Amino acid sequence: MPRRTLVIEKGARPALKHLQSCCLVWTAVFALHGVPGFAQTQETVKARSRHAAAEREGQRATEFRRVSADAPQSTPNPMQDGNLSGLHDFDFLIGRWQVHHRRLKERLANSHEWVEFEGTLSTRQLMDGWANMGDNLFKMPGGEVRGVSLRSYDPRTGQWAVWWLDGGNPSGNLDPPIKGKFENGVGTFYADDTLRGKTIRVRVTWSHITASSARWEQAFSPDGGKTWETNWVTEFRRIS
């Protein structure tokens, strides 16, 4: 199949040369000054980019101010001028313990039947010694039960507050803490509670404390502290 041949008439050659000259001129102009509007487009893109970056920075600053507003406004104060005499009273409990429990079967019901079972306790310090946490395992006759005791020291009063988290109801509200302190090697803590719909007084004591042993006791009072019934006794032996 014959190929087609482009034929340029003689009268068209001057026009072609003129067109080539114009192309060369415009190429030189673009090289020297750039495409009209192209530089402006680049500046517009750069300006938009700077604006977007400023908006992002503003958003980060707003989030920081929001977080700062939610944070405590005062600088944490170690209260070194407070009463620090009892700050280390629970240091003896840090570590792992083997535990023997004796628990009264019925409380404030004139019961004399005790239930005995074993358990373990692992205690560690928190907040550089201003608090500690105990992970308790009770190997009760009906099955294993867990609970967490959380203690914190208040230098304004020189007392410890102790909360109890029951493993049987871990999402429930925490009861008001028992509060107290150690005197002459014995720690005594009190709180108000209810039992079978009646207000009672609760007392917890720590005693017989050595490097490898300790005793914990709980007692209830139905008459505002005039009389007490001990309902739980725990003996601790250190493992490590």
Which segment, 59-68, 77-86, 127-136, is predicted with the most confidence on average?
Answer: 127-136
Sort 123 into a burial class: Cβ within 10 Å, 0-12 / 13-18 / 19+: buried
pLDDT reported for residue 109? 97
Q: Which residues contact 187 (CB under 8 A, 6 or more apart)?
A: 89, 160, 180, 181, 204, 205, 206, 207
Q: Report the 3 state secondary structure along 67-94.
A: HHHHCCCCCCCCCCCCCCCCCCCCHHHC
Contact 175, 184 (CB under 8 A): no
Domain range 91-238, CATH architecture: Beta Barrel (2.40)
pTM score: 0.68
**27 — pLDDT class (breaks 50, 70, 90):** very low
Domain boundaries defined on the chain: 13-67, 91-238
Mean pLDDT of 2-22: 45
**72 — pLDDT class (breaks 50, 70, 90):** low
Nearest to 164 by CA among 176, 153, 152: 176
Contact 92, 209 (CB under 8 A): yes
Phi, psi at 90, each rounded to 5°: -100, 10
Least confident of 5-14, 89-98, 129-138, 224-233: 5-14
Chain segment 154-174, per-residue pLDDT in tens: 999 999 999 999 998 888 888
Contact 70, 184 (CB under 8 A): no
